[in-house]
Structure 1
Amino acid sequence: MGLLIQLLAARLGVATGSHLAELCREEYPSSTKIVLWIMTEVAIIGADIQEVIGSAIAFKILSRGYIHLWAGVLMTGIYGFLFLFLENFGVRKLEALFAVLILIMGLSFAGVFGEAQPSSNAIISGLVIPRVPANAIDKAVGIVGCVIMPHNIFLHSALVQSRAIDTSNKVHVRDALRYYSIESTIAIVISFLINVFIMSVFAKSFYGKPGAQHIGLANAGEYLQHAYGGSNFPIKYIWAAGLLAAGQSSTMTSTYTGQFVMAGFLNLRIRKWIRVMVTRSVAIVPTIIVALAFDSSDNELDQLNEWLNVLQSIQLPFALIPLLTFVDNERIMGSFRIGGLLKAAAGLIALLVVVINFYLLAVFLLHSAIRSILILLLVGILICLYAAFIVYLVALPFMNSRSWAALSSSFHKYGLMPCLSFSFECCRGDPCPSFAAGIGVRFKTAAQIRKPLTLETYL
């Protein structure tokens, strides 16, 4: 899934010479692109909180607790800011730094994997036939969000433009797409192996054992040291080195993406260092607040981290749907528009993501301990708005087509207007309130449309 989305993002950037944020600004109405920009910024801030906190925890471990979480956040932000200035000396210098960080991360986690020696048969079995317990749905959804992160879709469509490519020459474009496909495949394979290293080590060491529920990012090194390091092998610090490299490279990535997103959506024409400062500040301030709030509460920090992964999955359609819309548009892509098979596969991924998200929201509402009718009503409204915007993004290409113009003209001829209609109800129950919501298409007359207090979005 991640590889296909990454390849489509690269295809968009190479074939058009514009990245996803720029195309959103050019193709969508003003209100739509503002909402997309806000959703993307929320996703970037959520990802940045995770990444910076991870680096801060690594600093805390490596300093034996002398560097507090909030101080580690500041250090990560400063180092990320300084590292990004390497771009002034050429993109290749920045890419080399990323390669070094990924190498450190890979070797560190591979070392931990080699020391733990999990069962290869169990790993293969889990990869071929994955099993997800009912109480781990939020974690499964979180994995989707942390593997296919929304801001990375924007980033990959922009990074391909660091090479000079003649977009008018189809041979050059095809060659570039082939090389980017190889590069992306290698990157995804490395990422996959690193994730396998981490998950298999913790599954073998702690799954089903007493106290496993208390293991999180902050104390994982201590548990690994106790299980495999003893008094001689510094596995805790190897883990921390990998965590620091992962956090620092991801922080730089999200900051880099923030520049493209802000400049692309808002068409900003300001100096690069000012743009870096603005995008870095937007993300670092919430992270410092989180660090101060959760400095002494590791379990709550881990729960926040899990829900931030879920946030990435919930925000994913707002990057995925525009991407699929543009790569399927012949006016934008020309001869590089995706074919039927690729469109079906990408559409299936988008549908799967949306279904998973709504399933998670349904599970959350059914098992929620919230007893306030007002809060449930607010949640219901937000879910309906979320659904409406997704339907709107999917329907917009058709609404702009000639077929829709002819169909809409037929409706208006008889004084009717199609609209999305939402309904929801809350009632007090025992032991907790119940909630129901619905979405559908209705046809209303002009007189009915003028009635106030309707929760409907007209097409």
Structure 2
Amino acid sequence: MPPQQHEQEQDHLLPLLADDREERAYDPTEKVVVIGLDDGDLDNLSTAPPFSWKKLWLFTGPGFLMSIAFLDPGNLEGDLQSGAIAGYSLLWLLLWATAVGLLVQLLSARLGVATGRHLAELCREEYPSWARMVLWVMAELALIGSDIQEVIGSAIAIKILSNGILPLWSGVVITALDCFIFLFLENYGVRKLEAVFAVLIATMALSFAWMFGETKPSGSELLIGILVPKLSSKTIQQAVGVVGCIIMPHNVFLHSALVQSRDIDNSKKGRVQEALRYYSIESTIALVVSFMINLFVTTVFAKGFYGTEQANNIGLVNAGQYLQEKYGGGLFPILYIWGIGLLAAGQSSTITGTYAGQFIMGGFLNLRLKKWMRALITRSCAIVPTIIVALVFDTSEDMLDVLNEWLNVLQSVQIPFALIPLLYLVSQEHIMGTFKIGPILKMVSWLVAVLVILINGYLLLEFFSSEANGVLIATVIGVFTTGYVAFIIYLVSRGITFSSWRAHPKLVPGTE
């Protein structure tokens, strides 16, 4: 073989070898095939094939897994507190916050479909080593904080359903085993796993709809709450909580990976357009379902506890007991209906948390580990601190509420580190090609991001101003805030600078 030809073949093989070494969200054999149903010779077209209900069904799944983050125990606690303290008045905000969440998740799906890579992988490629390590640590912290809430929520549900026989820590241990359930289900394919989540979401919908029917909230007040924006100084904290609970940092990473479970040839424009169309429809349906479930929970507690003495004391731990005291009896005790819904929310969200943890760790660190090993590492990161938390806080409902406030703050802190990289990446032509977002969508997306960051900034300011009672604590918070703001400025400025370099190659060193 001539040396030149040998070198050319080696050069041709290098990208393939690099791909083999890189972490991927799904192996080719795991992906759901969606081509070949009614396509004919449409592979070479630059436009999407005609709409097909059969294909919509095959694309259905990732959006519902993503929607679990809108229904986790942290969100349910935000819902019940919003209803108890603000009544029906913040339902309009729940609607618009869900719409904002949908926009962010659609951008995440767009990134995954157009590039064939998920957000963590692209952050590894686009940011310098020190910055991507900071982003990875922040994503892991957000995931651990969310997972603690989800596992504690499941443990509370297990305690309710066992009539208090099983303490909180044992519920945490039982919930930890969902890691192995998840691994077992994965062996049967993506569609089987998605079917299990569909059952869990249906369980939540049925449980909370039953509660809605039992308590009979006011239909007219519900409609007014959705259609007429109201906000007062007394409900501002609940309003911030509603917005803060909707965008979960780990979920932004998760959705960009989940969409790659379908076999899409992203070198063909028509195929990408087709996938984006179906994912947009599916994600919208999924978040409409999640909005209805959140609506049920909010209105049940608005009807039962708005304006009562218990309103300011309700949390996940005692919510079921308060419901039982108010609406006990019936065909099936409302305490257990609440417990079943809460258990479905906790179990589904902990499994998706394990999934997200695999993608985040694998994407940022490019780890080629067996799935059981990645799941075990991801699970341990959350379960070990959660068991410690359960042992320490099991005897005090008030302490659990304080813990939940701190975990909500942790989630709020992390939001910019998922949102800003996402918006930067979907705006870049060298990454997205023709699927980069246009100027109008870009402007709307950045306005939404700024609004969400400012709202969460308000939450942080309120929280830390009440906690900074000493010089040492104030100093630590001051140093943390300075570094935090500096890194956000770096992320934004780097995106602007890099975009200008791409637009003007002569500005890039070595391209003169």
Shorter-chain TM-score range: 0.7 to 0.9
Aligned position for 2:260 = 161
Deviations 1:270-320 (A, max 9, x none): 111101100000011111111111101112212322332232222111000
Distance 2:456 2:323 in 1: 33
% identical aligned pairs? 62
Aligned position for 1:285 = 384
Counterpart of 2:497 (choices 399, 411, 417) is: 399
Deviations 1:171-212 (A, max 9, x none): 011000000001100110011000000011101101110222
Q: Is 1:225 aligned with 2:321?
A: no
Distance 1:321 1:114 in 2: 41
Aligned position for 2:228 = 129
Q: How does 1:15-414 map to 2 (within 5 A)?
A: 15-134=114-233, 136-230=235-329, 233-366=332-465, 368=466, 370-400=468-498, 401-402=500-501
| SS of aligned partner of 1:219 | helix
Deviation at 1:342, TM superposition (A): 1.0
Distance 2:144 2:267 in 1: 37
| SS of aligned partner of 2:394 | coil
Contact 2:409 2:460 in 1 (8 A): no
Distance 1:306 1:214 in 2: 14
Contact 1:141 1:313 in 2 (8 A): no
**TM-score when normalising by structure 1:** 0.85
Where structure 2 has 5 or more consecutive residues not aligned to the other structure, the ranges are: 1-99
Distance 1:335 1:408 in 2: 23
Deviation at 1:67, TM superposition (A): 0.7
Contact 2:150 2:347 in 1 (8 A): yes
Contact 2:179 2:376 in 1 (8 A): no
Q: How does 1:412-427 map to 2 (within 5 A)?
A: none
Distance 2:103 2:173 in 1: 35
Q: Look up the equivalent residue of 1:281 and give its one-letter code.
A: S
Give the number of the structure whose residues are more often strand, by fraction: 1
Deviations 1:156-175 (A, max 9, x none): 00000000000011101100
Deviation at 1:79, TM superposition (A): 2.4
Distance 1:139 1:50 in 2: 18
RMSD of the TM alignment (CA)? 1.9
Deviation at 1:95, TM superposition (A): 0.3
Contact 2:179 2:375 in 1 (8 A): no
Contact 2:244 2:456 in 1 (8 A): no
Could you say which structure has the greater relative contact order, defined with CA pairs below 8 angstroms and 6 or more residues apart?
Answer: 2
Deviations 1:331-353 (A, max 9, x none): 00000000111111110111002
Deviation at 1:75, TM superposition (A): 0.3
Deviations 1:94-129 (A, max 9, x none): 000000000001100000011111112222222233
- The runs of at least 4 aligned residues of structure 1 exceeding 6 Å deviation read 403-409
Deviation at 1:132, TM superposition (A): 4.2
Q: Is 1:2 aligned with 2:97?
A: no
**TM-score when normalising by structure 2:** 0.77
- Closer, same or farther in 2 for the Cα pair 1:138/1:383, shift >3 Å? farther
Contact 1:101 1:246 in 2 (8 A): yes
Deviation at 1:84, TM superposition (A): 3.5
Deviation at 1:76, TM superposition (A): 0.6
Distance 2:460 2:245 in 1: 18
Distance 1:296 1:25 in 2: 43
Query: Aligned residues, how many?
Result: 408
- Closer, same or farther in 2 for the Cα pair 1:369/1:172, shift >3 Å? closer
Deviations 1:351-382 (A, max 9, x none): 0022112222333354x253322221211111
- Closer, same or farther in 2 for the Cα pair 1:241/1:116, shift >3 Å? same
Distance 1:212 1:357 in 2: 24
